[in-house]
Amino acid sequence: MSVKRTFRLPNDLADDLARHARRRGVTQGLVVETALRSILTPDADERVEAAFSRRMDKLARQLEKLDYHVEVTNETLALFVRFWLTANPPLPDTALAAAQAKGLERYEGFIEVLARKLEVGPRLAEGLRRDVKLSDG
């Protein structure tokens, strides 16, 4: 059995209610009923807390993954710099200006290629993941 109630809603809230009901393909009454049940149910706070906890857990996992990738990137860069400094002796002063000019030209080319790769992909890491899966398989 249903009891009829009359409520006054601000225009913007009434518009939001109508839009939400239309999008879901249900009546406005059903939307209001569902919202009231959600608020008035004793375990509503627990459900909100559980949803919040799941979201926080997901964020924590994403942060751990990001932390791992930053650590890998830092180690990769450090290893590359150590290798580069070991394998390439310093240039004599007479060749320094020409090397700097060529280095600038190569760096600008690198930045252009990097920008294109970031815009259209695929990312290097995706290729590495595919390679690892193929070699493991």
The pLDDT of residue 137 is 56
Q: Please state, in angstroms and rounded to a whole number, the distance separating the CA atoms of residues 89 and 51.
A: 58
- 5-55 pLDDT, tens digit each: 888 999 999 999 999 999 999 999 999 999 888 888 878 678 888 889 999
> Structural domain boundaries of the chain?
11-40, 43-89, 92-137
Task: Give the gyration radius of the chain's Cα atoms.
Answer: 30
Distance CA 56, CA 80 (A): 36
For the packed helices 28-40 and 11-24, what is the interaxial angle rounded to 10 degrees? Answer: 100
First CA to last CA across the chain, in angstroms? Answer: 61
**Cβ atoms 45, 52 nearer than 8 A:** no
The reported pTM is 0.47
